[in-house]
A and B are shown apart, each in its own frame.
Chain A
Amino acid sequence: MTTELDITETLDVKGVSCPMPVVKTKQAIDELGEGDILEVLATDSGSMSDIRGWAEGTAGVELREQIEDGDVYKHYVEKTG
């Protein structure tokens, strides 16, 4: 399954578990510019709830899409500010 979003960069955090997917996502987002979209590929099943929770509780980011593709959880986060 793929997204129709225009991805700026992909972060591969497959294999690592909490708190790494969220923390690495934050670090990657900090490197991007406004309007950029980060694709995060994770295998941690907790990342579905955690990245959503992080995006909702953090200013300047918006979770655009989450896709469960087999063993991989794909998250699409836009930097909004």
Chain B
Amino acid sequence: MSTDSQQSVDDDGDTTGDATMTETEALRERIDELESTVAELAEFADTATADDDGQKKMTLIATKGTLDMAYPPLILASTAAAFDWEVVVFHTFWGLDILHEKKSRNLQLSSVGNPNMPVPNIIGAIPGMDRMTTRMMNKRIADNDTATIEELVELSLDMGVELQACQMTIDLMEYDDDDFYEGVTTGVGAATALRHLGESDVQLMI
């Protein structure tokens, strides 16, 4: 009885031993596989970090040239630059006027089609109304010590923001390179914008 019992334990022990060996081998192989995957990933992470240095990048597309819509891209761009982000703002269509030295000082509000305006559309449509609401807005900007568009453009350039002026729009509007603030990048198009958008962590069209 005791022999039987001993036999049975040995048999069981052997069977378990074989299974353990196979499992151990399989696990070893799996560990080897995982180790090489981890090594590959670590190598990839190293290259990725070396490439971008952990620096975030933001690309904005500025398409609007009204006084109210000129602020968001410039405020975001200068602030992102303060975070040490690499920042590109691609200005196209009316957004180009933000970079136009003369026009940027005279951006207008639109009284019509803006429900936040203090005047109804039918009054807003009266000639001279945009000029009046713009004057009111400019007074508020001055009273609140809010930065002007000109100040924000200069500040953004100072902070290293790349302000790009779409060449197609420059030609379309018949502007000259000299019309823009010093430091503005001209001679760029959609492909340049896409390249930056593709490399960016944050992309916004404003």
Q: Is the CB of B82 within 8 A of A17?
A: no
Interface residues of A in 1-39 (CB under 8 A from B): 15-20, 22-23, 25-27
Given contacts A57-B83, A59-B54, 6 further A-B contacts (CB under 8 A): A17-B144, A17-B146, A19-B78, A27-B158, A58-B83, A58-B84
Within 8 Å of chain A (Cβ to Cβ): is B155? yes
Q: How many B residues, CB 8 Å from partner?
A: 16
Q: Is the CB of A18 within 8 A of B82?
A: no
- B155, closest chain A residue (CB): A23
In Å, the complex CA distance between A20 and B148 comes to 11
Q: Which residues of chain B have C-beta atoms less than 8 A from A22's C-beta?
A: 79, 82
Chain B window 134-174, contacts with chain A (Cβ cutoff 8 Å), 1 for yes, 0 for no: 00000000001111000010010011000000000000000
Instruction: Provide a sorted-by-A list of 15 A–B residue pairs whose CB atoms are within 8 angstroms.
Output: A15-B145, A19-B79, A19-B82, A19-B152, A20-B147, A23-B78, A23-B159, A25-B82, A26-B81, A26-B83, A26-B159, A57-B83, A58-B82, A58-B84, A59-B84
